[in-house]
A and B are shown apart, each in its own frame.
Chain A
Amino acid sequence: MLRAYRADLHIHSILSPCTEVVEMSPRAIVRRSVEAGLNLIAVCDHNSCENVPALQKAAAAAGLAVLAGMEIATREEIHILGLFGSASRAFEVQTVVYEHLPGENDEKAFGCQVVVNEQEEVVSFNKKLLIGATTLSLEAVVDLIHSRGGIAVASHIDREAYSIMSQLGFVPPGLALDALEVSPATGVDEARQRFPGLDHLPFIGSSDAHSLDGIGSSSTEFLMEDAGIDEVKLALAGREGRKVLGVRG
Chain B
Amino acid sequence: MKLRDIVERLELQVVAAGENLDREVAGGYASDLLSDVMANSREGDIWVTLQAHPNIIAVASLKGMAGIVIVQGRSPEAQTVEKALQEGIPLMVTGLQTFEFVGRLHGLGVSGMR
Residues of A near any B CB (own CB < 8 A): 76, 137-139, 160, 165-170, 172
- With beta carbons under 8 angstroms apart, the residue of B33, B35, B37, B77 that contacts A137 is B77
Which residues of chain A are within 8 angstroms of B77 by Cβ–Cβ distance?
137, 139
Q: Are B55 and A170 in contact (CB under 8 A)?
A: yes
Return 14 A-B CB contacts under 8 Å, by A number: A137-B53, A137-B77, A138-B53, A139-B77, A166-B35, A167-B51, A168-B34, A168-B55, A169-B34, A169-B35, A169-B38, A169-B55, A172-B53, A172-B55
Closest to A172 in B: B55
Complex CA gap A139/B54 in Å reads 10
Complex CA gap A168/B51 in Å reads 9
Which residues of chain B are within 8 angstroms of A76 by Cβ–Cβ distance?
51, 53
- Further contacts, 9 of them, CB under 8 A, given A76-B51, A167-B33, A168-B55: A165-B35, A166-B34, A167-B32, A167-B51, A168-B51, A169-B37, A169-B38, A170-B55, A172-B53
Closest to B59 in A: A169
Asked if B105 is at the interface of the complex by the 8 Å CB criterion, the answer is no
Which residues of chain A are within 8 angstroms of B35 by Cβ–Cβ distance?
160, 165-167, 169
Which residues of chain A are within 8 angstroms of B53 by Cβ–Cβ distance?
76, 137-138, 168, 172
With most chain B CB atoms within 10 A of its CB, the pick from A137, A167, A169 is A169
Q: Are A167 and B54 in contact (CB under 8 A)?
A: no
Which residues of chain B are within 8 angstroms of A168 by Cβ–Cβ distance?
34, 51, 53, 55
Complex CA gap A168/B54 in Å reads 9
Size of B's binding interface in residues, CB under 8 A = 13
Complex CA gap A35/B74 in Å reads 49
Closest to A171 in B: B55
Which residues of chain A are within 8 angstroms of B32 by Cβ–Cβ distance?
167
- With beta carbons under 8 angstroms apart, the residue of A138, A167, A170 that contacts B58 is A170
Complex CA gap A170/B61 in Å reads 14
Complex CA gap A190/B84 in Å reads 33
Q: What sequence of 0s and 1s flags, for each residue 66-78 of chain B, a beta carbon within 8 Å of any chain A beta carbon?
A: 0000000000010
Which residues of chain B are within 8 angstroms of A160 by Cβ–Cβ distance?
35
Q: Which 7 residue pairs are nearest across A and B when measured between Cβ atoms? A: A169-B34, A168-B55, A168-B34, A166-B35, A169-B38, A169-B35, A76-B53
Which residues of chain A are within 8 angstroms of B38 by Cβ–Cβ distance?
169
Complex CA gap A137/B52 in Å reads 9
Q: What sequence of 0s and 1s flags, for each residue 13-45 of chain B, a beta carbon within 8 Å of any chain A beta carbon?
A: 000000000000000000011110110000000
Complex CA gap A167/B59 in Å reads 12
Closest to A76 in B: B53
Complex CA gap A139/B37 in Å reads 21
Q: Are A172 and B33 in contact (CB under 8 A)?
A: no
Closest to B79 in A: A139
Complex CA gap A46/B13 in Å reads 36
Which residues of chain B are within 8 angstroms of A138 by Cβ–Cβ distance?
53
Which residues of chain B are within 8 angstroms of A169 by Cβ–Cβ distance?
34-35, 37-38, 55, 58-59
Q: Are B54 and A172 in contact (CB under 8 A)?
A: yes
With most chain B CB atoms within 10 A of its CB, the pick from A137, A160, A165, A168 is A168
With most chain B CB atoms within 10 A of its CB, the pick from A138, A165, A170 is A170
Kindly provide the distance from the CB of B66 to the nearest chain A CB, expressed in whole angstroms. Answer: 19
Complex CA gap A137/B74 in Å reads 13
Which residues of chain A are within 8 angstroms of B59 by Cβ–Cβ distance?
169
Closest to B39 in A: A169
Which residues of chain A are within 8 angstroms of B34 by Cβ–Cβ distance?
166-170
